[in-house]
Amino acid sequence: MCGIIGVTGADDAREVLLEGLERLEYRGYDSAGIALVDADGISRIRIADGTHSVALLREPARALDRGQRAGIGHNRWATHGQPSERNAHPHVDCSGDIVLVHNGIVENYAELAAGLRQRGHEFRSDTDTEVFVHLIEEQMQQGSDLVSSLRNVLQKVRGTFGLGVMSIKDPELLVAARRVSPLVIGVSGEATYLASDIPAILEHTREIIALDDDQIAQLRPNSVVIETLEGEPITPRLRTIAWDVEAAQKGGFEDFMSKEIDEQPTAIADTLRGRIDGDGRIVLDQLDLSDEELRKITHVSVVACGSSFHAGLVAKYALEHWARLPVEVDIASEFRYRDPVLHDTSLVIGVSQSGETVDTLQALRQAASSGAKVIVVSNVVDSSMAREADGVLYTHAGPEIGVAATKTVVAQIVALELLGLRLAQVRGTLTPEEVATQVAALRAMPDIVADAITRNDDVQKVAEAVNDAKDFFFLGRHAGYPTALEGALKLKEISYLHAEGYPGGELKHGPLAVIEPGCVVVAVASSGPLQEKMLSNVAEVKARGATVILVVDDGDEEASAQGDFVLSVPPAPALLAPLKDIVALQQFAYHLARGRGLDVDRPRNLAKTVTVE
Ligand code: AGP
């Protein structure tokens, strides 16, 4: 989710790189760097000062300029290794002749790096990316050119990449390759551009070629050659972009929220990536808790706010079932002001996409002072919480711009469920076969969630049908209960409508009194252990005249018949069902808010990160 810019043939390569990085800033980043390349060498500068890094590059970058016409640049959003100058891209090899930028994750970097170190390579960063330059260096030392070297190296690498690489041996050549992480090439006739995102190069050209997975491209000032990784030639498809820069930053989506809803399959896949080894063992290397420590845990306490709290609630069902540990889930602002009973066998998990929410941060500090082990699920590497905790479980959802959390929530659920399976593994509460079944189910979720997203038009029709309603009740049971809470939060947050979430079983204990014609009840009734009971609750609200919208699995005619409207979702095991049921509720909230003409990305009164109490 970092940003890449590259150019060859520009009159002022330095300016192209800096402007490109500025155009990519909207994605969020923690450090930035550029490298200018000519036959005399590589001039590189990197700065790690959060979202000021590109501006700070400008002044020192002047000193690098000797009229170079080519180079590469990068805005980094840390995944491996903290945000720092040494970890910022571009990275160079030992000789300093090869320079590279990379988006994505190298799953087998530890193994590759160990081999390279043994063969005498010196690493100057803690990133997974650096293995690329050293592997290319080895290939070039054996006489291969840059393209063949990269081709050979990519065969050894497991994971995802969008990368640009240059060498002083052929300084007009910029080589790019892609697997999963997007890359586009821009052509102007005089210069050729490379970027991870169209806005970075829109100022220079509107003629764009999108690189597909497993393709490698050779960019020269007035030519582009594209081949598959196996060397088969590809005829580039040129398209002319009509969008303005703002539209392009949203990747053709109307707003960041719909873009981020669409990115959820990738967020799930990236959060799973590299965390299950060949033997089916869950590997959470930054957790920093030994198997022995995991076995000693007697109780788990999750603290979080808002949507992150809902992700924690989903995890409670999974952790208790799989790891047979008692799990409490607390709103952080309550936890910090009560007197929670914690001891050195307690595991306290802070869940926060930003890693900066002040209530969660303070709650974790309090937990740490009582001797509990503290870990954090964060989407931001080296956030305050990540720095202070004993261990970290990063989600890899990429920066989330919309105030309403979407892709980070599903990524949090996945990260917590991986932790649940790890606990079950070391504590022996699931057999290896049972763990393997859950792992396979988790691995299927990116496709299932992608399928759920395709129902958007149907969800829009249902939202339009209840456009006049003022009161919404979201009901769910079991893992469907936090899903209902999240659906209600999403709706109130972006549409400003009254929405409440309840466990279905609580209906008779109060809320039923306010149900009357005009109320809309959204019930999460996808198949699960309590579906029948959920449908009895539905009958109760129907009898009082509510309009009922049911979230049901495809083909469940019996359940569907009980709703006035249906949001169909693909089926999934009950403990993973929130990942796809939440999608329908995000889209429902989205369309109601858009129908009311509201800005879904910047809801009134709310901030993306809440750093005040
Ligand atoms: C959700 O849509 C909200 N914007 C909000 O509830 C958010 O989840 C909460 O503020 C917690 O933020 P965090 O995950 O960054 O700690």
Task: Extract the tokens encoding 212.
Answer: 């597909």
Evaluate whether 289 touches 393 at the Cβ level (below 8 Å).
no
Pick the residue whose CA is nearest to atom 12 on ligand 1. 352
Over the stretch 217-275, which tens digit does the pLDDT of each residue have? 999 999 999 999 999 999 988 888 877 777 777 878 999 999 999 999 999 999 999 89
User: To test ligand 1's pocket by mutation, which of 610, 611, 613 has the most ligand atoms within 8 angstroms of CB?
Assistant: 610
Q: How far is the CA of 303 from the centre of ligand 1 (A)?
A: 12
Residue 355, C-beta contacts closer than 8 angstroms, at least 6 positions apart? 376, 378, 379, 380, 383, 384, 385, 386
Over the stretch 537-591, which tens digit does the pLDDT of each residue have? 999 999 999 999 999 999 999 999 999 999 999 999 999 999 999 999 999 999 9
Closest ligand 1 atom to Cα of 408: 14
**Sign of the CA dihedral with 524 first, then 530, 536, and 540 last:** negative
Bridge partner residues of 218 (DSSP): 175, 225
Q: How far is the CA of 306 from the centre of ligand 1 (A)?
A: 5
Q: How far is the CA of 77 from the centre of ligand 1 (A)?
A: 19
Pick the residue whose CA is nearest to atom 14 on ligand 1. 352
- In this structure, the residues whose C-beta lies within 6 A of any atom of ligand 1 are 305-308, 352-354, 357, 360, 403-405, 493, 609-610
**3-state SS class at 504:** helix
Q: How far is the CA of 305 from the centre of ligand 1 (A)?
A: 6
Q: Which of 607, 299, 273, 267 is closest to 412 using CA atoms?
A: 267
At 613 the pLDDT is 66
Catalytic residue check, 94 = no
Catalytic residue check, 519 = no
Pick the residue whose CA is nearest to atom 4 on ligand 1. 404
Over the stretch 297-342, which tens digit does the pLDDT of each residue have? 999 999 999 999 999 999 999 999 999 999 999 999 999 999 999 9
Q: How far is the CA of 25 from the centre of ligand 1 (A)?
A: 22
Burial readout 428-441 (b: 16 or more C-beta within 10 A, e: otherwise): ebbeeeebeebbee
Percent of the chain with pLDDT over 70: 100
User: To test ligand 1's pocket by mutation, which of 307, 494, 495, 600 has the most ligand atoms within 8 angstroms of CB?
Assistant: 307
At 250 the pLDDT is 84
User: To test ligand 1's pocket by mutation, which of 303, 357, 486 has the most ligand atoms within 8 angstroms of CB?
Assistant: 357
Q: How far is the CA of 441 from the centre of ligand 1 (A)?
A: 27
Evaluate whether 360 touches 390 at the Cβ level (below 8 Å).
no
User: To test ligand 1's pocket by mutation, which of 353, 359, 604 has the most ligand atoms within 8 angstroms of CB?
Assistant: 353
Over the stretch 155-204, which tens digit does the pLDDT of each residue have? 999 998 999 999 999 999 999 999 988 899 999 989 999 999 888 998 99
Tell me the HSE value of 439 on the side-chain side, using a 13 A CA sphere: 24
State the Cα–Cα distance between residues 76 and 32, nearest whole angstrom. 6
State the Cα–Cα distance between residues 232 and 230, nearest whole angstrom. 6
Kindly report the average pLDDT of the chain as a whole number.
94
Marked catalytic residue, from 2, 250, 305, 407? 2
Evaluate whether 73 touches 56 at the Cβ level (below 8 Å).
no
471-476 and 520-524: which strand pairing? Answer: parallel
At 175 the pLDDT is 98
Pick the residue whose CA is nearest to atom 5 on ligand 1. 306
Pick the residue whose CA is nearest to atom 7 on ligand 1. 306
At 1 the pLDDT is 59
State the average pLDDT over residues 436-447. Answer: 97
Over the stretch 379-413, which tens digit does the pLDDT of each residue have? 987 788 998 999 999 999 987 889 999 999 999 99
pTM over 0.95: no
pLDDT at 520 over 90: yes
State the Cα–Cα distance between residues 526 and 13, nearest whole angstrom. 55
Q: How far is the CA of 328 from the centre of ligand 1 (A)?
A: 19
Pick the residue whose CA is nearest to atom 6 on ligand 1. 306
The angle formed by the CA atoms of residues 401, 406 and 411, to the nearest 5 degrees, is 105
State the average pLDDT over residues 204-214. Answer: 91
